[in-house]
């Protein structure tokens, strides 16, 4: 069911779930690096193995994902066997995600934003959200104890929405880029897919510009945007970050 890499420990405080290998690197890789720097265990679950991609093979992307995980410092990364290009919100697929949630037992889960150009991304968001709920139901038996994450946030980098908050990734921007560029089968210049993919020499400029934009919104140099559905809660007005004027 699952193909694993960089699996040093089962439990992690933060779990990022995405449809494809390299989605996490693009949308929340810097945040995973920051959480790792704070001493938290992090993990990644890719729902597919990338076998339908224009470039590269599932085997190439597995090796690249392992290298990217090493750079990001994640404790565990695995890929399910959901068909690439056919991510569907079925009971069977929800149970596959539930099984991982109960092993990893994250407090925070990062999901793709629920509206996206690629159908797999949008479906992955709904599928994973429903799996987080089901994972807490004791009568759904998977061989592991029930577990429901405390918090779900949505990586909204490519969504045309105002973020609820931004994570400062300034110290980690170079390693985030290195993790993304570990996917040589996807981002190195080549004839295959040249009309679909951004030229390699432009990737750094574009990704840094996006991070700079969101960092500026939050008063830092580089940032990654997120949306939460819940209302925020504070106790001390004087400690709210980001200057108003």
The verdict on residue 91 lying in a domain is yes
The verdict on residue 159 lying in a domain is yes
Q: Residue 145 is encoded by which pair of tokens?
A: 């104890």
CA distance 160 to 223: 16
pLDDT at 2: 64
- CB 128, CB 17: distance < 8 Å: yes
pLDDT at 51: 80
pLDDT at 103: 96
pLDDT at 6: 47
The verdict on residue 235 lying in a domain is no
For residue 31, the domain's CATH number is 3.40.50.10320
- Positions of E strands within 6-99: 14-18, 42-46, 76-80
Closest residue by Cα to residue 187 from 45, 22, 27: 22
The verdict on residue 237 lying in a domain is no
- CB 53, CB 65: distance < 8 Å: no
What sign does the CA torsion over 129, 60, 12, 235 have? negative
Query: What's the domain count of the chain?
Result: 1
pLDDT at 9: 54
The verdict on residue 245 lying in a domain is no
Per-residue pLDDT of the chain (245 residues; tens, 9 = 90+): 666 654 445 899 999 999 999 999 999 999 999 999 999 999 999 999 988 666 668 899 999 999 999 999 999 999 999 999 999 999 999 999 999 999 999 999 999 999 999 999 999 999 999 999 999 999 999 999 999 999 999 999 999 999 999 999 999 999 999 999 999 887 766 666 556 667 778 999 999 999 999 999 999 999 999 999 999 999 999 999 999 98
Domain membership of residue 58 as a residue range:
2-229
Q: Residue 201 is encoded by which pair of tokens?
A: 């020499």
Q: Residue 221 is encoded by which pair of tokens?
A: 């140099």
The verdict on residue 241 lying in a domain is no
Query: What confidence tens digit (pLDDT) does each residue in 135-194 have?
Result: 999 999 999 999 999 999 999 999 999 999 999 999 999 999 999 999 988 776 666 655
pLDDT at 100: 98
pLDDT at 245: 87
pLDDT at 155: 98
The verdict on residue 25 lying in a domain is yes
The verdict on residue 242 lying in a domain is no
């Amino acid at each position: 069911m699952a193909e694993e890499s960089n699996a040093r420990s089962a439990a992690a405080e933060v779990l990022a779930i995405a449809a494809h290998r390299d989605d996490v690197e693009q949308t929340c890789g810097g945040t995973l690096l920051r959480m790792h720097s704070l001493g938290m265990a992090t993990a990644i679950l890719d729902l597919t193995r990338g076998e339908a991609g224009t470039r590269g093979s599932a085997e190439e992307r597995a090796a690249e994902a392992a290298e990217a995980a090493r750079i990001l410092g994640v404790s565990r990364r695995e890929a399910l066997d959901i068909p690439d290009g056919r991510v569907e919100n079925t009971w069977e697929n929800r149970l596959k995600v539930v099984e991982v949630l109960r092993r990893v037992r994250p407090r925070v889960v990062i999901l793709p934003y629920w509206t996206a150009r690629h159908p797999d991304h949008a479906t992955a968001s709904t599928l994973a959200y429903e799996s987080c709920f089901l994972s807490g139901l004791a009568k759904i038996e998977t061989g592991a104890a029930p577990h429901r994450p405390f918090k779900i946030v949505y990586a909204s980098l490519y969504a045309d929405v105002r973020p609820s908050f931004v994570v400062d990734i300034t110290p980690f921007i170079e390693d985030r880029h290195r993790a993304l560029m570990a996917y040589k089968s996807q981002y190195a210049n080549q004839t295959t897919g040249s009309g679909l993919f951004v030229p390699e020499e432009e990737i750094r400029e574009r990704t840094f510009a996006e991070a700079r934009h969101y960092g500026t919104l939050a008063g830092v140099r580089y940032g990654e945007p997120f949306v939460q559905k819940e209302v925020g809660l504070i106790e001390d007005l004087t400690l709210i970050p980001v200057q108003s004027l």
